[in-house]
């Protein structure tokens, strides 16, 4: 019986370095990303793909503002922007993956699902926005945008500039989980829960309502991996292994992390809140619930033997 692996693609799956985010750049990067997945597919894994959307959804919001300012086109709320980004990114990944499968003479269906994710409307995250979206700005640019749009900006932990931040509530339930699981078990490659999913909450009579927020993609991917009973959870980022003292002379790469060790290092402040911390927390959540291993690594290791940092019980 085939094993199911949930793969959370990092931000560099579509946009890298100082790229501006053109379609040609994103398509080239998505093709490179999908080529790294072929080895897993050849090994017989059934894969479910999730992805980030920070730069893309930020650009969609900026287009909203520009359209309103010049042409009075109605602004779309953040949840609609997230759904837009899910469709666009999913389409790029889906098409490039189909092309990669075709060149490798592998016959598989690939489907993208716009995925809603349940959150609590009273989540404390709505009082303290922390999730970065959009591009990086100089401090002066961020101050002007904050003043004109009532947005909130915070400095990037890696000193790359200032980014807009929005609420990031905890994901409670992946609403499409049953059909995602079914499609995967039937041998289809599923792209789901993009950008953490579209956040929704239940009102007093049980109806779904929209909410202005962005869910952390890694935490949502971890929840999805738990709910579809995945055999393995892989988080792809831009470094091959989790490190202590990251980018310092005494940097240490970690091959394996137990839950105890990971939680200890979190308390000691080794992982940045805007970078590695949510990935570690997502991995811990998966391992605690399932007892199976999670892996944090970069995409190129998928073509080898899944080298990276393994998080185990």
- Torsions phi, psi of 248, nearest 5? -115, 160
Which residue in 99, 57, 98, 53 sits closest to 76, CA to CA?
A: 57
At 244, give phi and psi (nearest 5°): -90, 150
Are β-strands 173-174 and 152-155 bridged in parallel, bridged antiparallel, or unpaired? unpaired
Mark whether 58 is an active-site residue: no
**310 CB-side CA count, 13 A:** 11
Phi and psi (nearest 5°) for 199?
-75, 130
Closest CA to 112 of 183, 165, 60: 183
d(CA 227, CA 9): 18
Across the beta sheet with 162-166, the strand order is 131-137, 162-166, 152-155
| Residue among 85, 110, 115 at smallest CA distance from 34 | 110
Catalytic residue among 10, 11, 58, 197: 11
Our answer to whether residue 131 is catalytic in this structure is: yes
Give the separation between CA 282 and CA 152, rounded to whole angstroms.
Answer: 25
- Residue of 29, 52, 90, 131 marked catalytic: 131
Coil, strand or helix at 88: helix
Residues 306 and 234 sit within 8 Å (Cβ to Cβ): yes
Annotated catalytic residue within 10, 64, 195, 217: 217
Pick the catalytic residue: 232, 241, 279, 292?
Answer: 279
12 as an active site residue: the answer is yes
d(CA 255, CA 130): 29
Catalytic site includes residue 279: yes
- Residue 35's alpha-carbon distances to 53, 108, 114, 215, in angstroms, are 20, 15, 23, 27
- The catalytic position among 12, 29, 64, 285 is 12
List, by residue number, the catalytic residues.
11-12, 131, 217, 279
């Amino acid at each position: 019986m085939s094993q199911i692996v949930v793969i959370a693609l990092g931000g560099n799956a579509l946009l890298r370095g100082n790229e501006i985010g053109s379609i040609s750049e994103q398509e080239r990067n998505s093709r490179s990303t999908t080529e790294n997945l072929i080895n897993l597919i050849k090994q017989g894994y059934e894969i479910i793909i999730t992805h980030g959307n920070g730069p893309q959804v930020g650009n969609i919001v900026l287009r909203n503002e520009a359209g309103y300012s010049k042409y009075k086109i109605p602004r779309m709320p953040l949840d609609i922007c997230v759904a837009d980004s899910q469709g666009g990114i999913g389409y790029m990944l889906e098409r490039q993956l189909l092309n990669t499968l075709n060149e490798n003479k592998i016959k598989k269906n690939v489907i993208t699902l716009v995925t809603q994710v349940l959150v609590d409307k009273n989540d404390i995250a709505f009082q303290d926005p922390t999730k970065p979206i959009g591009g990086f700005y100089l401090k002066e640019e961020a101050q002007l945008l904050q003043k004109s749009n009532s947005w909130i900006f915070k400095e990037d932990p890696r000193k790359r500039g200032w980014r807009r931040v929005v609420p990031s509530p905890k994901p409670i339930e992946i609403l499409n989980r049953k059909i995602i699981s079914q499609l995967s078990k039937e041998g289809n490659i599923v792209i789901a829960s993009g950008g953490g999913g579209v956040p929704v909450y239940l009102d007093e009579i049980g109806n779904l309502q929209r909410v202005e927020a962005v869910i952390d993609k890694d935490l949502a991917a971890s929840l999805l991996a738990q709910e579809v009973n995945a055999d393995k959870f892989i988080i792809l980022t831009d470094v091959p292994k989790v490190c202590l003292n990251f980018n310092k002379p005494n940097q240490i790469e970690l091959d394996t992390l137990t839950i105890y060790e990971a939680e200890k290092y979190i308390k000691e402040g080794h992982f940045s809140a805007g970078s590695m911390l949510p990935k570690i927390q997502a991995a811990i959540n998966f391992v605690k619930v399932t007892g199976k291993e999670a892996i944090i690594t970069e995409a190129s290791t998928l073509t080898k033997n899944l080298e990276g940092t393994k998080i185990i019980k």
